[in-house]
């Protein structure tokens, strides 16, 4: 099928490349001319494992092209995926102006029948707005447009695998014809066993927010338990193991630590809560999930202050700056929230990250960065593990300790082995587990 993808952020670019890989003829479109030029040369604008290779393959086969000309992208498309940003407004609500503008472009440039697919995360009810926009802008074409909600469930860092081996593909549509087109789009995955769930549009829109909010709730539940474990002598990782072996609970997303960040959970939770409130329902549970998430960073900052006493004149090293491993994304990264708190208390904060250093520096210019973990730890009074990158598992702990002024480690992701830390002579402060002092 002929596919246009509007927006080349994480979701849009991975959608473009994977749709092309599945055999469709894809044009990726973005307003950012510089980005399009980069993409035409096969350069990914962000770090995502496997993306450069997939771009090379699909650009090389001619299945994927990029254009900043919306008309060129849209005019022959059977399906247009809207993958534009939906950033939070000051109120927490999603700003849908880019979705409206993409819908207007589709109305303006559509050359024939077209299925307009919302892939960006949007509040329930958006499809009706998209349909109204299409109808207003192109009244003569009303019966040519179908609107579909097909939320994306990919994670940064494993986006390609999540797209090609999805747990489920969710399609909410308003007509049998639109379902038929979406079945054809996803046939290569469904033929290999992927589960296709078909619902009405509002259910699909709501399900996306429901999944993200539920996952965030699991994390906050564990972080609340971590606070309890720290006060009672329990061990949150063991509690997670016990809970996770109950298949009704499931073992994923039970890791306590510095909490969730990134561009999805924090903003989606707020948008979901705002949507509920607009619909007249007080979804207080979501506010509590957010509060506990903020508390996870505060509790870690308090622990560091407790261990170091005054932070003025002290140096604190943050290992890992991205919001999670395998991405260079630092948006709403707990590491940076923690760094800002420590700086406000007078500490000099120095960070190291395998991929996210440039982004961290532009988000937080006053952050010192170092070219490797050992340089970052030099003269440090406390080292905080903020993001569990695999390379931190194989650090030379003796070398790290030698570099530091005080051998103090706060583990915001419970990545290190307590026995090992004790053996190496560190004072070790994990999350929700007993410290070794
Ligand atoms: C999340 C969802 O997992 C995807 O299904 C969804 O498609 C995506 O949002 C989206 O809406 O676009 P992502 O934000 O890439 O994906 O990251 P996750 O892997 O879900 O991690 C989110 C945060 O939770 C990270 O900061 C991570 O460190 C934290 N986390 C995760 C925990 O603190 N504990 C856990 O047990 C798991």
Q: How far apart are CA 95 and CA 187, in angstroms?
A: 33
pTM of the model: 0.96
- CA of 161 relative to ligand 1 center, distance in Å: 15
Q: How far apart are CA 122 and CA 129, in angstroms?
A: 11
- Regarding the beta carbon of 253 and ligand 1, being less than 6 Å apart is answered yes
Atom of ligand 1 nearest to the CA of 157: 15
- What's the Rg (C-alpha) of the chain? 23
DSSP state of 344: H
- CA of 49 relative to ligand 1 center, distance in Å: 16
- Edge-to-edge strand list for the sheet holding 169-173: 64-67, 25-29, 2-6, 79-82, 114-118, 145-149, 169-173, 196-199
Contact predicate 386/378, CB 8 Å: no
Task: Return the sign of the alpha-carbon dihedral for residues 223, 225, 231, 233.
Answer: negative
Q: Whose CA is nearest to atom 6 of ligand 1?
A: 153
- Regarding the beta carbon of 272 and ligand 1, being less than 6 Å apart is answered no
Distances from the Cα of 194 to the Cα of 166, 187, 336, angstroms: 6, 9, 38
- CA of 219 relative to ligand 1 center, distance in Å: 10
- CA of 245 relative to ligand 1 center, distance in Å: 21
Q: Which of 305, 312, 314 is nearest to 338 (CA)?
A: 305
DSSP output for 283-342: -HHHHHHHHHHHHHHHHHHHHHHHHHS--TT-EEEEE--SSSTT----TT-HHHHHHHHH
Side-chain half-sphere of 91: how many Cα atoms within 13 Å?
10
How big is the CA angle at 313 (ends 308 and 319), to the nearest 5 degrees? Answer: 65
Q: Whose CA is nearest to atom 28 of ligand 1?
A: 324
Side-chain half-sphere of 361: how many Cα atoms within 13 Å?
11
The pLDDT, as a whole number, for residue 377 is 98
Contact predicate 280/297, CB 8 Å: no
Contact predicate 404/383, CB 8 Å: yes
- CA of 184 relative to ligand 1 center, distance in Å: 29
Q: How far apart are CA 208 and CA 305, in angstroms?
A: 39
For 118, phi then psi, to 5°, come to -80, 115
Q: Whose CA is nearest to atom 37 of ligand 1?
A: 253
- Catalytic residue numbers? 264
Query: Ligand 1: which of 156, 390, 412, 413 to mutate, most ligand atoms within 8 Å of CB?
Result: 156
Task: Return the sign of the alpha-carbon dihedral for residues 364, 257, 403, 355.
Answer: negative
Atom of ligand 1 nearest to the CA of 327: 15
- Regarding the beta carbon of 260 and ligand 1, being less than 6 Å apart is answered yes
Q: Which residues contact 81 (CB under 8 A, 6 or more apart)?
A: 3, 4, 5, 6, 12, 15, 19, 117, 119, 150
- Regarding the beta carbon of 339 and ligand 1, being less than 6 Å apart is answered no
- CA of 328 relative to ligand 1 center, distance in Å: 14
DSSP state of 143: G
The pLDDT, as a whole number, for residue 418 is 97
Q: Whose CA is nearest to atom 1 of ligand 1?
A: 155
Query: Ligand 1: which of 48, 84, 170, 265 to mutate, most ligand atoms within 8 Å of CB?
Result: 265
Any idea which residue has 């959970």 for tokens?
A: 265
In tens digits, what is the pLDDT along the chain, a chain of 437 residues? 999 999 999 999 999 999 999 999 999 999 999 999 999 999 999 999 999 999 999 999 999 999 999 999 999 999 999 999 999 999 999 999 999 999 999 999 999 999 999 999 999 999 999 999 999 999 999 999 999 999 999 999 999 999 999 999 999 999 999 999 999 999 999 999 999 999 999 999 999 999 999 999 999 999 999 999 999 999 999 999 999 999 999 999 999 999 999 999 999 999 999 999 999 999 999 999 999 999 999 999 999 999 999 999 999 999 999 999 999 999 999 999 999 999 999 999 999 999 999 999 999 999 999 999 999 999 999 999 999 999 999 999 999 999 999 999 999 999 999 999 999 999 999 999 999 99
The pLDDT, as a whole number, for residue 143 is 93
Q: Whose CA is nearest to atom 12 of ligand 1?
A: 264
Q: Which residues contact 13 (CB under 8 A, 6 or more apart)?
A: 28, 39, 44, 45, 48, 51
């Amino acid at each position: 099928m002929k596919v246009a993808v509007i927006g080349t952020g994480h979701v849009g670019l991975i959608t473009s490349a994977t749709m092309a890989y599945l055999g469709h003829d894809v044009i990726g479109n973005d307003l950012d001319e510089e980005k399009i030029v980069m993409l035409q040369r096969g350069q990914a604008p962000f770090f995502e494992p496997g993306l450069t290779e997939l771009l090379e393959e699909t650009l090389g086969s001619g299945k994927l092209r990029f254009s900043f000309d919306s008309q060129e992208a849209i005019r022959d498309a059977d399906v247009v995926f809207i993958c534009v940003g939906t950033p939070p407004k000051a109120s927490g609500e999603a700003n849908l102006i880019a979705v409206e503008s993409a819908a207007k472009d589709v109305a303006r440039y559509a050359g024939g029948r077209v299925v307009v697919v919302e892939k960006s995360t949007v509040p329930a009810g958006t499809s009706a707005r998209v349909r109204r926009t299409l109808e207003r802008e192109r009244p003569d074409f009303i019966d040519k447009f179908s609107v579909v909600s097909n939320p994306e469930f990919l994670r940064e860092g494993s986006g390609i695998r999540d797209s090609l081996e999805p747990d489920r593909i969710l399609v909410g549509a308003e007509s049998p014809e639109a379902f038929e087109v979406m079945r054809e789009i996803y046939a290569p995955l469904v033929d290999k066993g992927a589960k296709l769930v078909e619902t009405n549009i509002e259910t699909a829109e709501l399900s996306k927010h429901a999944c993200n909010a539920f996952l965030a709730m699991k994390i906050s539940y564990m972080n609340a338990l971590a606070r309890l474990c720290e006060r009672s002598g329990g061990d949150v990782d063991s509690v997670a193991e016990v809970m996770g072996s109950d298949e009704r609970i499931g073992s994923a997303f039970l890791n306590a630590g510095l909490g969730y960040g990134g561009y999805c959970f924090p903003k989606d939770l707020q948008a979901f809560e705002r949507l509920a409130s607009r619909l007249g329902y007080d979804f207080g549970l979501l506010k509590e999930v957010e509060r506990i998430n903020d508390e996870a960073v505060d509790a870690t900052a308090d622990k560091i202050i407790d261990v170091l006493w005054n932070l003025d004149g002290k140096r604190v090293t943050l290992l890992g700056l991205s919001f999670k491993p395998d991405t260079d994304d630092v948006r709403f990264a707990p590491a940076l929230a923690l760094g800002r708190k420590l700086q406000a208390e007078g500490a000099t904060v120095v960070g190291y990250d395998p991929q996210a250093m440039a982004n961290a520096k532009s988000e937080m210019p006053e952050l010192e960065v170092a070219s490797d973990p050992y340089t970052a730890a030099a003269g440090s009074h406390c080292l905080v593990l903020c993001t569990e990158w695999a390379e931190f598992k194989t650090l030379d702990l003796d070398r790290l300790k030698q570099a530091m002024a005080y051998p103090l480690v706060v583990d915001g992701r419970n990545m290190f082995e307590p026995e090992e830390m004790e053996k190496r002579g560190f004072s070790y402060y994990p999350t929700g587990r007993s410290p070794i002092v």
